């Protein structure tokens, strides 16, 4: 799964961060597909999670500065996703293999759907 021009939110910095998120998700998925061990997956997941937190904070700061009317709703979607991915990771980490397939499916769906359906909302405001 790769970034496509249709994912552009019209702000170069956020497009670049979204591209980086695609790269991190792909790297994580590839490591899992290659059968890399839990230690390697944990490192990749931690850097993905860290980047997600940084990216969300930057989007939220820009939305707040612009008095974007969808600010609260957008922030709660960010918070829900962060909770969802960390709880799926924990399930996997506690030997629930299903947690990993749900985590991968969630990351895949989320990145595309969140950009197209949620981030696009701020396109004309920021
Ligand atoms: Fe967002």
CA of 35 to the centre of ligand 1 (A): 31
The predicted structure's pLDDT at residue 102: 94
CA of 37 to the centre of ligand 1 (A): 31
Q: Are 20 and 51 in contact (CB under 8 A)?
A: yes
Q: Which CATH architecture has domain 11-122?
A: Up-down Bundle (1.20)
pTM for the whole structure: 0.93
In Å, what is the CA distance from 108 to each residue of 19, 49, 105? Answer: 13, 14, 5
Which of 100, 105, 101 has its CA nearest to residue 89? Answer: 100
CA of 82 to the centre of ligand 1 (A): 11
Segment 18-75, tens digit of pLDDT: 999 999 999 999 999 999 999 999 999 999 999 999 999 999 999 999 999 999 999 9
CA of 106 to the centre of ligand 1 (A): 15
Q: Are 68 and 125 in contact (CB under 8 A)?
A: yes
The domains of the chain are located at 11-122
The predicted structure's pLDDT at residue 97: 85
Segment 82-102, tens digit of pLDDT: 999 999 999 998 999 899 999
CA of 126 to the centre of ligand 1 (A): 13
CA of 56 to the centre of ligand 1 (A): 6
Q: Are 28 and 107 in contact (CB under 8 A)?
A: yes
**Could you list which residues have their CB under 5 Å from ion ligand 1?**
59, 119
The predicted structure's pLDDT at residue 2: 87
């Amino acid at each position: 799964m790769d970034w496509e021009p249709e994912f552009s939110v019209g702000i170069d910095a956020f497009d670049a961060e979204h591209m980086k998120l695609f790269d991190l998700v792909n790297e994580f998925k590839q490591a899992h597909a290659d059968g890399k061990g839990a230690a390697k997956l944990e490192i990749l997941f931690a850097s993905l999670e860290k980047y997600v937190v940084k990216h969300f904070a930057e989007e939220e700061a820009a939305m707040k500065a612009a008095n974007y009317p969808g600010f609260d709703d957008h922030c709660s979607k960010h918070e829900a996703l962060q909770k969802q991915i960390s709880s799926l990771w924990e399930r996997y980490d506690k030997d629930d293999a299903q947690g990993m397939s749900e985590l991968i499916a969630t990351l895949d769906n989320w990145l595309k759907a969140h950009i197209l359906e949620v981030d696009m909302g701020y396109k004309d405001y920021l």
